[in-house]
Amino acid sequence: MSIISDYLAGVQRLIAQVSEERIERLADRLEETWREGRRVLLMGNGGSSATASHIVNDLQKCIYLDSGKPLRALCLSDNTPLVLAWGNDTEFANIFEPQIECWAEPGDLVIGISGSGNSPNVLRAIEAANRRGARTFGLAGFQGGRLAQTAQECIVIESDSMQQIEDLHMILLHAVFVTLRERTKRA
């Protein structure tokens, strides 16, 4: 078998292992947030940041275009000057928590994406969101790390391949988006 075949077989195996019920629960949380007019705040580092930023496009633009009602979605790593200011003036582990303190309100949905499940900045933000009464959801890999215990709900991709974990996180978020899109069209 080639490296490519092995990689793709690994992704297929991981897809087959994901709990559809957990994906449905994330879709439920997003729908509740949309119906209540609340915010969705997403964050991650590196590839997880790119995933968070990407899905905001679908959640914000497409839901609004299809339903006429916006889903107020924001990626906390998209404001590079602000992220760098917090990192420089305090510490990198503090780049998301102050943004949560600024934006998160009770009933909002905060989604932390961390391949390892142990990103200190994501964990601190999820802890802050919990304190503020927001709903929290994690997407993690490996064995879930601390994110699996810190977020109120979490989907863990049990793999030690960061690339495949990141692939699955994007696939799952697209599945959730497609589900939400169909639900909001009927609203």
Q: How many domains does the chain have?
A: 1
The confidence score (pLDDT) of residue 186 equals 61
Q: What is the tens place of the pLDDT at every residue in 91-104?
A: 999 999 999 999 99
The confidence score (pLDDT) of residue 187 equals 59
Kindly tell me the sign of the dihedral angle through the C-alpha atoms of 84, 90, 95, 100: negative
Across the range 109-134, mean pLDDT stands at 98
Residue 50: Cβ-neighbour burial (10 angstroms; 0-12, 13-18, 19+): middle
Q: Is the pLDDT of residue 1 over 80?
A: no
DSSP string, 25-55: HHHHHHHHHHHTT-EEEEE-STHHHHHHHHH
- Two tokens, residue 14: 């991981």
Q: Is the pLDDT of residue 157 over 80?
A: yes
Inter-residue contact 76 to 45 (CB < 8 Å): no
Q: What is the tens place of the pLDDT at every residue in 49-61?
A: 999 999 999 999 9
Q: Is 35 left (phi over 0), alpha (psi -120 to 50) or beta?
A: alpha
Domain that holds residue 134: 3-185
Percent of the chain with pLDDT over 90: 98
DSSP H helices, 42-161, are 47-57, 63-67, 80-89, 97-103, 120-131, 147-150
Q: Where residue 166 sits, what CATH number does that domain have?
A: 3.40.50.10490
The confidence score (pLDDT) of residue 63 equals 96
The confidence score (pLDDT) of residue 185 equals 87
Q: What is the tens place of the pLDDT at every residue in 64-82?
A: 999 999 999 999 999 999 9
Whether this prediction's pTM lies above 0.85 is answered by yes
Percent of the chain with pLDDT over 70: 99
Across the range 136-154, mean pLDDT stands at 98
